[in-house]
Amino acid sequence: MSDPAPADRPLAVPTRQLETDRVIVTEWRFAPGAHTGWHLHAHDYVVVPLTTGRLRLVTRTGEATAELVSGQAYSRERGVEHDVINDNPFAFAFIEIELKP
């Protein structure tokens, strides 16, 4: 696994907007250079970008870049483990919708 971020890198700010017996909706806001920290997704999830830009994804097998477009959703299955880093020189935000079983 690559070192996901320097120790002084700021953390992204999650704000839980809604939780029911079926979903968890969280807004994630990233300052330039901020990251989520290493985490494992326990649920299938959908991400809806609020900003257009690039995120860097650090996984156990390496790094990838994701080009996201505001309003264009994508989904992933549970089990994804990564650190997400805002590589933009501007703030970035997305809504994450976790689907409970």
- pLDDT, tens only, 63-80: 999 999 999 999 999 999
CATH of domain 13-99: 2.60.120.10
Q: Give every strand in the sheet of 53-59, ordered side by side.
A: 39-40, 81-86, 53-59, 62-68
**Does 45 have pLDDT greater than 60?**
yes
Cβ(25)–Cβ(18) under 8 Å? yes
Instruction: Write phi, then psi, for 12 (nearest 5 degrees).
Output: -65, 155
Q: What percent of the chain has pLDDT over 70?
A: 93
Q: Where are the domains of the chain?
A: 13-99
pLDDT, position 32: 97
pLDDT, position 8: 80
- Going by pLDDT thresholds of 50, 70 and 90, the confidence category of residue 1 is very low
Place of tokens 């839980």: 16
pLDDT, position 5: 54
